[in-house]
Amino acid sequence: MSKQEVIRFIGSLFLAGLVLNVSLMILSISWGTIFISNVALVILSRI
């Protein structure tokens, strides 16, 4: 493999990891929001 191919390979790996991290972050944020709103609903219904 030439240097350019190695750089391109590392770049695509980095990009894939970045996309994975971002999607995981969005997933965890949405789950956190759902969880918080459920807890808030339970607390409000107890009042």
Question: Mind listing the pLDDT tens digit for each residue in 9-40?
Answer: 999 999 999 999 999 999 999 999 999 999 99
- The H or E element that residue 12 is part of is helix 3-46
Output the pTM of the full model.
Answer: 0.60
Domain that holds residue 7: 1-47
Tokens of 26: 């969005």
Domain count, the chain: 1
Give the pLDDT score at 34. Answer: 96
Q: What is the largest CA-CA distance in the chain?
A: 68
